[in-house]
Chain A
Amino acid sequence: MIRNDVFKTLIPVISEHLVVCNIGAPSQELHALDDRASNFYMLGTMGLSSSIGLGLAAAQDKPVIAIDGDGSVLTNLGTLATIGNNPQGNFTLLIIDNGSYGSTGDQPTYAGMKTDLAAVAKACGAETVQTVSAEDTAEAVKAAIASDQTTIIVSKCESGNVKVPVIKTNPIVIRERFMEEVRR
């Protein structure tokens, strides 16, 4: 399964919740599969999906799922320490670990080599960390949303992207409609 296949299984689980989605192909694929006001597409800031998600979870009580990528977490590794030290029971971080920089042509990341992001997350003090197969991801995310613990899920999937259009929605529209969902 590639990222887009994982997303297909994930949609019934996350569509009613606040989702912050990673730059590039992940946001574009989620947008093409299930565009929703409750999705915040982070269109240009590699590495910050998890940070935006954590800040959002700290600020209000609704469940928050941040979808990130292995490459993006590697570029902002400090985020795992911040998450580990500021647990928010309503926060789930889903790291789509395809072992590559998918959006830019599937160049390998260190997470696909010797680096174990789940072990790093644990060492950073994160409460609950799981490595799951692509097939088991939706079930794990569902359980994480239901739980009152910060959960980091590292979903091991294959490298690959599907051809989908770029997101043309005005950023203020993305942000405003998302904030309306937060307030709802």
Chain B
Amino acid sequence: MATTMDHQIVEDLKAAGIDYITSVPCKQLAGVIEVLEGTSEIMHMPSNKEDEGMGLCAGAFMGGMKPAIVMQNTALGVVVNTLATLIQFYQIPLPMLISYRGEVGEPVACQVEMALHTKAILNQLHIPTYHFHKPEDAAELPGILEYAQMASKPVAILCDASFWRASA
């Protein structure tokens, strides 16, 4: 069941003019994806892998849409080349709503391994990174979405287990 926060996030995306979203699911993103499926103003085109998804977003952007990607932090292990050679090389604005698995509250030990690399990868790529830990942190989302367009850059919004739990 989608929470008020899931609805708030999608409302903010809509208000920022985001009209194309690709996603690969995560348990923490299930509510957002459920809301997206019922949001006619946003074209939701699921992808099989996040680098593929970023290709779709690049095309949608050049076609005049405002894309975003919804993905798990483990996907950062997949998309480094695509972020550098496609999204950054051609300066494509791309908000990345990322579930931050492997943080405090995580039940699956294996998720911790990529959590340890998540911010390091984003830092290495010089990607503006925001970390939502408490529900009130989400108040920054509209500003972050505007910032991504202004800067023509990918930006990462990491949402951890504490954020989702307290927002439920």
Contact = CB atoms under 8 A, between A and B. Distances in A.
Interface of chain A, helix or strand or loop or mixed? helix
B81 interface: yes
Contacts of B81: 44-45
Contact of A48 (B43, B54, B64, B67): B54
B35 interface: no
B48 A48 contact: no
Contact of A55 (B48, B56, B84, B90): B56
A20 B55 CA distance: 11
A45 B86 contact: yes
Contacts of B105: none
B13 to A, nearest CB: 16
Interface stretch (A76-84, A94-102, A128-136, A155-163): A76-84
A78 B86 contact: no
Interface residues of A, number: 34
Contact of A56 (B45, B62, B92): B62
A76 B53 CA distance: 11
Given A56-B62, A78-B49, A79-B52, A48 B20 contact: no
A86 interface: yes
B162 interface: no
A147 interface: no
Nearest to B46: A82
Interface of B: 20, 43, 45-49, 51-65, 67, 81-82, 84-86, 89-92
22 contacts: A20-B59, A43-B85, A44-B85, A45-B55, A45-B86, A49-B55, A51-B58, A55-B45, A57-B59, A58-B20, A58-B45, A58-B60, A59-B59, A76-B52, A79-B52, A82-B48, A82-B52, A171-B89, A172-B90, A172-B91, A178-B62, A179-B62
Interface of A: 20, 40, 42-45, 47-60, 76, 78-79, 81-82, 86, 171-172, 174-175, 178-179, 182-183
